[in-house]
Amino acid sequence: MSNLASDYLKLSYHCQQFGCYSRRLRLQNVLCVLESCVSLYILSLPLFDIHSQLLRKSNLQSLVVQWIRSSEHVAGLCKLLNQNSRTLTSLEFVHCKISSSFMDTICGSLCSSGAETHQIHHFSISSSSFHEIDPVSLAHSLASFLSSGRSLRSLKLCDNNLDRNFAKSVFSTLLDSSCGLTSFDLSENNISGWLSIFNWKSNAFLSSSGVTKSLQSLRILKLGGNNLQKDDAGNLRYVLVQMPSLEILDLSDNPIEDDGIRSLIPYFAEASKSCSPLTDLNLGSCELSSDGVILLLDVLSTLARPLNSLSLADNGLGSQVAEALGKFWGTSIQVLNLEGIGLGPSGFRKLRDIRMENLKLVKLNISKNRGGIETAKFLSKLILHAPKLVAVNAAYNLMPAESLPLICSALKTAKGGYTIFFKFKCTV
């Protein structure tokens, strides 16, 4: 109840005492509401004034800011950025309203004492809106931010309702920049057609020196939920071959269909020859059918360095895909997501009949396949032949009560010399 105790309850006390030790900071307007009891409407300038006073001596490395929506917010933020521009390497914006002057100001305050470049390694804008009368100038501002960052390794522009022209512009900047980007996330926008201006087949875009550096170092590419169609997949094929370091590719939730997958197959075949490090492929909800997926699995089964993780979830594949799947899991696949692919009882029956020998599977998702008792029969065989298996999700398979003894007895038998941590989720 002393004065001191009430000081402890204030954020400002802690900032004054410990601000100089802070390395990571997440700022939300609500903090300021609690602290200074001002209304949400006017709070953000005081918020940043408070923090830039309190954190004067800090050496922040990572900053996440939310709800920056007016020029006053930006001005307050810039003080903080400027104070920490020497140490700050990670900067994230969430729920912000971005304009070209916003980008220019941010960039200006990060380039410390007249230097033309900033030190940011990880830059992210997500769930934000891009507001500008002139979208070209906005894209230009972002581009100039990107090209003034030699240290940029990870770029995330996720769920901002970006269109194809914006994506084109960002992508051309990356092609021209000499940064060694390792991760690029453009998920949850609407960029169908973004690669169509580039003349991929002629390789013309690769002719000037250094242009592919940013693609060559790329290890993670996320393009999920972008309304990409088969033509986009066709263009993507030419881009992907320029990414020899790619390990993780996420194309989920794009209607690329079988034609899209057919145009990507030459990339996988080529990747196989050149020992590509690709380990993780997500093709969930891509409107694929068994025709496309059977072709794909045949190629993936022959990769020199097989995948670690594959998702085919929520594509209507049906039981026809079982044989190709059986061949594929003889590779060293560890994480397989087959949720909602329409296997049904006959799919599980076929899977069970396929030869299984010392499978490397670690996690399997076979939920939502309505397999009934056949799911349990399949599982009881799989458990015996996949000694590394630790997690199976078999929810929503309409399994009858008789399933349980089948699975239990398989688990008991399998235990043998192994310690099995089995997380079993099932709706009976």
Ligand X SMILES: *[C@@H]1O[C@H](CO)[C@@H](O)[C@H](O)[C@H]1NC(C)=O
Interface ranges with ligand X (CB under 6 A): 163-164, 190, 192, 227, 337, 339, 365, 367-368, 393, 395-396
Enter the tokens of residue 65.
């800011």
**Nearest distance from residue 282's CB to ligand X, in Å?**
9
**Nearest distance from residue 329's CB to ligand X, in Å?**
16
Pick 75 or 335: Cβ nearer ligand X = 335
φ and ψ of 176, to 5 deg: -85, -20
Pick 143 or 341: Cβ nearer ligand X = 341
**Nearest distance from residue 192's CB to ligand X, in Å?**
6
Contact 345, 371 (CB under 8 A): yes
Identify the helix (H) or strand (E) that includes residue 267.
Answer: helix 257-273
User: Would you tell me the crossing angle of helices 135-147 and 164-176 to the nearest 10 degrees?
Assistant: 30
Pick 192 or 214: Cβ nearer ligand X = 192
**CB neighbours of 419 closer than 8 A, spacing ≥ 6?**
none
Give me the DSSP letters along 347-389: HHHHHHHS---S----EEE--S---THHHHHHHHHHHHH-TT-
**Nearest distance from residue 83's CB to ligand X, in Å?**
39
**Nearest distance from residue 425's CB to ligand X, in Å?**
7
Nearest residue (beta carbon) to ligand X = 367
Pick 36 or 126: Cβ nearer ligand X = 126
**Nearest distance from residue 384's CB to ligand X, in Å?**
23
CA distances from 39 to 29, 35, 55, 95, 184 (A): 10, 11, 23, 18, 37
Closest-CA residue to 193 (of 236, 157, 158): 236
Angle at 364 between CA 303 and CA 318, to 5 degrees: 80
Angle at 280 between CA 277 and CA 285, to 5 degrees: 145
Pick 15 or 364: Cβ nearer ligand X = 364
**Nearest distance from residue 394's CB to ligand X, in Å?**
9
How far is Cα 143 from Cα 139, in angstroms, rounded to an integer? 6
Pick 91 or 366: Cβ nearer ligand X = 366
- DSSP annotation of 28 reads -
Pick 339 or 374: Cβ nearer ligand X = 339
